[in-house]
Each structure stands twice: as C-alpha cells, then as structure tokens.
C-alpha cells in the first residue's frame, strides 16, 4: 500500500470550530499513528465568504492545539489554472459538456417537477446537443453515469450506496469560468495523492459525486471516513447557541490545549474505558475503526473535569507562563510579588481553569482592599483580635520557610490557647486574602513571605479594631 496521506481542509469562513478541530485531530492522529503525511489545505475558492482573518484564526487554533501539519497550508485559490485544465480534459474526453440552459429555464423545470411530485433533477437537455451557440453563457456539466449505483465502504459508517439515477449531471464550472466545490476537492485530493479522506459526515452526500469524478478522470479513489457530528445538549447540531464553539474561545476561557485535545479525541472515539490520553498515547492507540457511528453530545462538565486533571498534574513553570496573560488582563502585575510558580503550586490542586486560577491568584499580588464581613462576623471580635496578636507574635519569632513549619506553628497556638483550628485559621485567611476561598494557611504564609504576611495581618487588625 502507498504511504498514508491525509488532509484537513477547512473553508476559511469563520474561526476554527471544535468540530473542525476534532476532524483535524483525527486526521493528524491517523497520520502520526501510521507514519503518514498530514496536509493542511485551505478551501478558499468561495472568494466572497473566505477571509484572511479566518485563515489566521484557523492557523492560530491549530497551532495552539499543537496539530502540526507536514505540508501546506495549500490554498485552493492558487490552483485555478489546474482546475481549468481538468475541466478541459473532461470536455475533450466527452465526459463533460457545455450546458446553455438559462437559470429561468432550469427554475421553470424545477418548479414543474415539484408540482408533479417528481424529484427535481437536471433533465439532460444539453447532454447530447450538437450545436454550440456562439457567445452564449454556459456552465460545464459532468456527464454522470445514468444507471447503476455508486457505493463506497466508509471506514466509520460501513457500505453506503447511492443509485446513480438520483445524481444530477453536476455543474463543475460556472458561467463565469470558476470551478465548483466538489470538483476542486476531487482535483486537489487526487493531485495531492490523498489516500484517506476524513471529514464531517455532512459531506456524505458529496462523496458519490466525487467518486464518479475520480473514476471519470482515471484517478484512484481514496478511502473515506465520515465523522459523525457533534451535538449540543438538546441534540441539535452544536452551535453558538449552546455556548462557545471556537477553539480559541476555549483557550481564552482558561482551558489547556491537552485537555481540549483529550476531550475531543474521546468525543466519538474510544479505547476501552480509558479517559485520559496523553498526546503520545492518543497517537499510539488511535484507530479510525474505533470511531463510533452515532453523533456525540458536547459535555462541558467533562471537559472541565479533564482540564482540572491536567492543571493538577501540570508542570508549574509551564502553567505559570500560561497564567500570565490571564493575570495581565486583570491588570495584575507579578513584579515584586511572590514567585508565580510558587503561587501556581498552591492553586493547581483546586482550579478547574486558568481563569479560575487567575482569579484566585490575584490576592497574592494585590493585598485585599476589603474583607468578607459575613465570614468575619462568625467570630467574636475580641477573639479575632487576640488571634491576630498571638499569630503575629509567633510568626515574628520563628523561621517560616516551610509550609509544615507554619502549619505546626498554628497547631501549637491552638494547643497553647485551647482554640480550635478554624478559630485561628479562618480569620488569618481572611486577613491575608480578603476571603475564605484560599489555599491552606501554611501555603499562603510561605508564599507571601513573612513581611507581607505580617503587614496584612496588621491591616486587618486595624480594620477589625475600627469596626
Ligand atoms: N471545506 C470543507 C469544510 O470545511 C471540507 C471538505 C472536505 O473535507 O472534503 O467543511
């Protein structure tokens, strides 16, 4: 068998959708698994709808996910002369013909067919026409086989058969001389020697037309794998209505690329009951035959769960780098504050997203400008002041460079004074972070450092005294 060659062929009419990203991922995985070649092709022949911004957004999404391509990006718009050449070949071989029917004529025929309860189909008026009216606009139609069937054995869906009589003589070139979508796809896939076409199953109906073109042009027909759609929770096709659908939106919401990839690979594909797949494991285990036949429902909760897993187990230095833009967008500067990597270590256990982590990291860099009064009110004022005093005294006189040391110190205070841990820890946590949603007290103290810790307790003391 020849070397495996696959492609991802987005139309640049919007951002990279999670559904597109999953199609790209399956292509990429198959190529990596089989030592094949993954090509990125931008299908920009629809000049009206294609934009440079969209190309950039697609490339940005692919790069963020780490879906690196081996060839391309190839732009279809660079191949117009090639398409023309192949249209001419089909015309010369009598496998395509010029059709002079006007759109009014075609509309009238279509309406009549519908009125009579027939399926509208081009009636072949120009199929065997001998004359070529000069100067009259024409389209080029493919002379499609009339009888029999066109069938293919889809790697995901199994054998799919279409009766040829249901397929029109496809227009392959418009009156303005531009080639049409299905024709370009075939010429590209054939000349790029694509061996396996993996794409969304919204393209299933295009496949028999494309196969007929391959056969007419004498090209080998590739294998096809049509991936079922992704649905929203209401079982309608996933769209903006259901929430974010753009890959980059997930980046901005604080998801890690490996979490989104892991989520997407499991959306429709399985390997036993395994849920967690590193990039290498996915590559090793991916088998297109294990992609399910039915559509999958997008589940944000599961994505969050995976993201939390990857944050928890992530390298703190890398996470710190990824967290920085989220802090900058909150106008938080880490300069002069605690080491961001140390901060990450105190937060990665519990954060589901980098956005959540950034929210929780703010207090390390900006001392609280208000306190959670409701939480403070749970304690007696004199008791809180006594806690602040004792804690200040203890912390000032001991080296506090390790979390265990600080934790031990707090335990000691409790034993000496007969206080409960909550009575001591909670007011101090409020003093240091403004609220109660914060890491363990030892972690905060060590990360903030003794000087900043004492300064914050002193401010909180003034605040409580004045109340
Ligand atoms: N450009 C098509 C799309 O974005 C994909 C065509 C194909 O993969 O054959 O849906």
Kindly state whether residues 84 and 220 are assigned to the same domain: yes
Q: Which residues pair with 284 in a beta bridge?
A: none
Cα 411 to chain centroid, rounded = 47
Does 307 reside within a domain? no
CA nearest 144: which of 119, 127, 161, 125? 127
CA nearest 29: which of 56, 6, 60, 63? 6
Does 309 reside within a domain? no
Cα 85 to chain centroid, rounded = 37
CA nearest 462: which of 425, 431, 422, 441? 431
Provide the number of structural domains found in the chain: 4
**Residue among 52, 119, 157, 240 flagged as catalytic:** 240
Does 308 reside within a domain? no
Does 275 reside within a domain? yes
CATH number at residue 261: 3.40.50.620
Kindly state whether residues 92 and 63 are assigned to the same domain: no
Kindly state whether residues 154 and 238 are assigned to the same domain: no
CA of 183 to the centre of ligand 1 (A): 12
* 44/29 Cα distance (integer angstroms): 25
Kindly state whether residues 171 and 83 are assigned to the same domain: yes
* 65/250 Cα distance (integer angstroms): 11
Buried b (16+ CB within 10 A) or exposed e, 41-75: bbbbbeeeebeeebbebbbebbebbebebeeebbe
Q: Which domain holds residue 355?
A: 314-365
CA of 282 to the centre of ligand 1 (A): 24
Q: With a 6 A CB cut-off, is 407 part of the ligand 1 pocket?
A: no
Kindly state whether residues 105 and 189 are assigned to the same domain: yes
CA of 338 to the centre of ligand 1 (A): 49
Assess whether 157 carries a catalytic annotation. Answer: no
Kindly state whether residues 87 and 212 are assigned to the same domain: yes
Kindly state whether residues 89 and 57 are assigned to the same domain: no
* 288/73 Cα distance (integer angstroms): 24
Kindly state whether residues 106 and 222 are assigned to the same domain: yes
Does 455 reside within a domain? yes
Kindly state whether residues 82 and 223 are assigned to the same domain: yes
Residuewise pLDDT in 10s, the chain (467 residues): 569 999 999 999 999 999 999 999 999 999 999 999 999 999 998 888 999 999 999 999 999 999 999 999 999 999 999 999 999 999 999 999 999 999 999 999 999 999 999 888 899 999 998 888 888 999 999 999 999 999 999 999 999 999 999 999 999 999 999 999 999 999 999 999 999 999 999 999 999 999 999 999 999 999 999 999 999 999 999 988 888 899 999 999 999 999 999 999 999 999 999 999 999 999 999 999 999 999 999 999 999 999 999 999 999 999 999 999 999 999 999 999 999 999 999 999 999 999 999 999 999 999 999 999 999 999 999 999 999 999 999 999 878 888 899 999 999 999 999 999 999 999 999 999 999 988 999 999 999 999 999 999 999 999 999 98
SS3 424: helix
Cα 241 to chain centroid, rounded = 16
Beta strands in 35-148 (DSSP E): 37-42, 71-75, 96-99, 139-142
Kindly state whether residues 237 and 223 are assigned to the same domain: no
CA-based angle 233:236:241, to the nearest 5?
75
């Amino acid at each position: 068998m020849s070397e495996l060659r696959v492609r991802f062929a987005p139309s640049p009419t919007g951002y990279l959708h999670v559904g597109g990203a999953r199609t790209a991922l399956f292509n990429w995985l198959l190529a990596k698994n089989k030592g094949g070649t993954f090509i990125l092709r931008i299908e920009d022949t629809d000049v009206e709808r294609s934009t440079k911004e969209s190309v950039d957004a697609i490339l940005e999404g692919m790069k963020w996910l780490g879906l690196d391509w081996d060839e391309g990006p190839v732009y279809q718009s660079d191949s117009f002369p090639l398409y023309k050449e192949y249209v001419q070949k089909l015309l010369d071989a009598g496998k395509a013909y010029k059709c002079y029917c006007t759109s009014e004529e075609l509309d009238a025929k279509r309406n009549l067919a519908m009125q009579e309860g027939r399926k509208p189909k081009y009636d072949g008026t120009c199929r065997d026409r001998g004359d070529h009216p000069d100067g009259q606009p024409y389209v080029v139609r493919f002379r499609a086989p009339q009888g029999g069937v066109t069938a293919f054995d889809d790697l995901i869906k199994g054998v799919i058969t279409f009766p040829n009589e249901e397929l029109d003589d496809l227009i392959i070139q418009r009156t303005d001389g531009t080639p049409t979508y299905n024709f370009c796809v075939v010429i590209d896939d054939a000349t790029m020697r694509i061996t396996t076409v993996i794409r969304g199953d919204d393209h299933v109906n295009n496949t028999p037309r494309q196969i007929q073109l391959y056969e007419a042009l004498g090209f080998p027909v590739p294998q096809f794998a049509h991936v079922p759609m992704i649905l929203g929770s209401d079982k309608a096709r996933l769209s903006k209505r259901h929430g974010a659908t753009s890959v980059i939106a997930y980046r901005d919401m604080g998801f890690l690329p490996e979490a989104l990839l892991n989520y997407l690979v499991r959306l429709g594909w399985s390997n036993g009951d395994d849920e967690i797949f590193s990039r290498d494991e996915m590559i090793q285990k991916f088998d297109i035959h294990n992609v399910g036949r039915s559509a999958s429902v997008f589940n944000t909760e599961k994505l969050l769960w995976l993201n939390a897993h990857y944050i928890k187990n992530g390298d703190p230095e890398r996470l710190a780098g990824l967290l920085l833009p989220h802090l900058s967008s909150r106008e938080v500067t880490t300069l002069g504050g605690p080491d961001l990597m140390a901060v990450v270590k105190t937060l990665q256990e519990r954060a589901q997203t980098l956005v959540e982590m950034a929210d929780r990291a703010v207090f390390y860099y900006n001392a609280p400008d208000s306190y959670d009064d409701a939480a403070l009110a749970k304690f007696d004022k004199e008791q809180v002041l006594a806690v602040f005093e004792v804690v200040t005294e203890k912390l000032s006189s001991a080296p506090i460079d390790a979390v265990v040391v600080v934790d031990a110190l707090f335990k000691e205070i409790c034993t000496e004074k007969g206080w409960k841990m909550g009575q001591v820890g909670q007011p101090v946590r409020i003093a240091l972070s403004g609220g109660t949603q914060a890491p363990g007290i030892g972690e905060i103290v060590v990360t903030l450092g003794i000087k900043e810790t004492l300064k914050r307790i002193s401010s909180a003391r003034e605040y409580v005294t004045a109340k």
